[in-house]
């Protein structure tokens, strides 16, 4: 039995703080740098 929509209905929603965090330009700039650095690092390793 597919209970996906019941699970979606019970999934946690972001808090007001989390929503602010997602839009905070200053904070997101650091996330942007971190994501880029992680992706750069991952793309340049694990092949020989």
Partner 1 sequence: MARVVVLGAGVSGHTAALYLKKRLGKAHDVVVVSPNSNYNWIPSNIWVGVGKMTTEDVVFPLAPIYKKKGIEFVQAKAFALWPEGDADDDRPAVEVEYTSAAKAGQTEKLRYDYVVNATGPKLNFAATPGLGPDGGHTVSVCTPSHATEASTKLDDVIAAAKSGKTQKVVIGVGHGTCTCEGAAFEYTFNVDHELRAAGVRDKVEVTYLTNENELGDFGVGGMQFEQNGFRTTSQLWTESLYRERGVKAVTGAAVTSIDEGVIHYDQLDGSHNDMEFDFAMLLPPFRGADWKAFDKAGEDITGTVFAPSGFLKVDANYTPKPYEEWSAKDWPRTYQNPTYKNVFAVGIAFAPPHQISKPRATPDGLAVAPSPPRTGMPSGTMGKIVAFSIADMILKGATEPTHSASMSEMAAACVASAGAGMRTGTAAAMTMSPVVPDWEKYPETGRNLKETFGEIGLAGHWVKRLLHTLFIYKAKVKPGWTWIPE
The residues of the shown chain that bind partner 1, judged by CB under 8 A, are 1-2, 4-5, 7-9, 11-14, 21-25, 28-29, 31-32, 35-36, 38-40, 42-44, 46-48
Closest CA to 35 of 23, 46, 43, 45: 43
- Classify 2 as helix, strand or coil: coil
CB of 44 to partner 1, least distance (A): 5
11's enclosing H/E stretch is none
CB of 36 to partner 1, least distance (A): 6
CB of 14 to partner 1, least distance (A): 7
Structure tokens of 43?
Answer: 């793309």
């Amino acid at each position: 039995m597919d209970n996906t929509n019941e699970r979606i209905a019970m999934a946690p929603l972001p808090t007001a703080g989390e929503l602010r965090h997602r839009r905070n330009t200053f904070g997101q700039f650091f996330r942007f740098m971190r994501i880029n650095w992680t992706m750069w690092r991952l793309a340049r390793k694990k092949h020989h």
